């Protein structure tokens, strides 16, 4: 039995016993090590602490590990990782865990898909609203794969992502004039082509290989500020 000091030291918790309940959720990536210790490390270092420096609920840990197992993803390689999305319910702000899949996680799942099986992603094709190539409008990505013969690779699908649909923008004018309402946020301002190409690829893979219910970090956000798993606020609407 250990004392849960992060919650004021008043609650006794059998930490190892709790972690032991979730050992079946650990995939091949956790073979050869103590699963209880590995789960503890994931709880502390991946799920992390909230802004009050309290270890996040063990139910969040269980849900995250279950999602990782369901999709065959390795959280130690950040193929899947946790993000807390804030939303307002009544007069209170609450945080909800959102397991986020990286683009590498998407590709891994698609490679393990059968009929079709993912092979590679084509080069993104960008369209701009102006002749100078400064106002990005859309990115189109094609994905390729095969059905039974790896030697017969063919186009499986494509998706066009538009800036106006995916770009996260500021919802107010900065009082110091750093940005205006409607300006792109964070990486959307500095690397818009990379961000939009990821969204196009994720949607192409999701539609072509039947991967529903999972999202990239670039796709989520509703104007509220997400919170990183470690408890730090991200920029408004941005998940890092």
Please tell me whether residues 49 and 145 are part of one structural domain.
no
Please tell me whether residues 193 and 109 are part of one structural domain.
yes
At CB < 8 A and 24+ separation, what contacts does 212-216 make?
A: 214/71, 214/99, 214/101, 214/105, 214/106, 215/98, 215/100, 215/101, 216/100, 216/101, 216/102, 216/103, 216/106
229 lies in a domain?
no
pLDDT for 43 equals 96
Q: What is the pLDDT of residues 10-38, one digit of tens each?
A: 354 577 789 999 999 998 899 889 999 99
Terminal CA-to-CA distance of the chain, rounded, Å? 36
List the single range of 164-173, 193-202, 230-239 with lowest mean pLDDT. 230-239
The last residue of one of the domains, among 76, 95, 129, is 76
Residue 86 has pLDDT above 90, yes or no: no
Residue 237 contacts residue 189 (beta carbons within 8 Å): no
Residue 235 contacts residue 221 (beta carbons within 8 Å): no
Please tell me whether residues 12 and 70 are part of one structural domain.
yes
Please tell me whether residues 70 and 108 are part of one structural domain.
no
90 lies in a domain?
no
Mean pLDDT of 172-186: 92
Q: What percent of the chain has pLDDT over 90?
A: 65
Please tell me whether residues 172 and 208 are part of one structural domain.
yes
Q: For residue 193, give its domain range.
A: 103-215
Q: From CA 89, how far away is CA 110, in angstroms rounded?
A: 36
207 lies in a domain?
yes
Please tell me whether residues 65 and 169 are part of one structural domain.
no
Across the chain, mean pLDDT equals 86
* Parallel, antiparallel or unpaired: strands 92-101 and 117-121: unpaired
225 lies in a domain?
no
Residue 83 has pLDDT above 60, yes or no: yes
13 lies in a domain?
yes
Instruction: For residue 215, name the pLDDT band (cuts at 50, 70, 90).
Output: confident
pLDDT for 221 equals 56
Instruction: For residue 95, name the pLDDT band (cuts at 50, 70, 90).
Output: confident
Residue appearing with tokens 């995939």: 27
85 lies in a domain?
no
Residue 41 has pLDDT above 80, yes or no: yes
Structure tokens at 166: 């995916």
158 lies in a domain?
yes
194 lies in a domain?
yes
Please tell me whether residues 128 and 196 are part of one structural domain.
yes
Mean pLDDT of 102-129: 96
């Amino acid at each position: 039995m250990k004392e849960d000091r992060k919650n004021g030291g008043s609650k006794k918790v059998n930490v190892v016993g709790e972690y032991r309940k979730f050992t079946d959720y650990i995939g091949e990536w956790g073979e050869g090590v103590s699963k209880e210790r590995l789960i503890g490390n994931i709880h502390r270092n991946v799920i992390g602490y909230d802004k009050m420096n309290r270890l996040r609920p063990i139910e969040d840990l269980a849900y995250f590990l279950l999602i990782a197992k369901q999709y065959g993803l390795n959280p130690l390689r950040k193929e899947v990782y946790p993000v807390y999305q804030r939303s307002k319910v009544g007069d209170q702000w609450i945080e909800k865990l959102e397991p986020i899949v990286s683009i590498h996680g998407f590709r891994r799942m698609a490679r393990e898909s059968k009929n079709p099986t993912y092979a590679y992603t084509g080069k993104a094709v960008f369209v701009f609203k102006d002749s100078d190539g400064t106002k990005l409008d859309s990115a189109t990505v094609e994905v390729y794969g095969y059905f039974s013969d790896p030697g017969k690779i063919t186009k499986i699908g494509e998706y066009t992502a538009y800036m106006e649909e995916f770009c996260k923008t500021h919802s107010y004018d900065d009082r110091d004039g750093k940005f205006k309402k409607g300006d792109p946020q964070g990486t959307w301002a500095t690397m818009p082509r990379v961000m939009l190409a990821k969204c196009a690829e994720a949607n192409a893979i999701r539609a072509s290989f039947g991967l529903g219910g999972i999202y990239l970090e670039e796709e989520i956000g509703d104007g509220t500020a997400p919170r990183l798993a470690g408890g730090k606020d991200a920029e408004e609407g941005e998940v890092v």
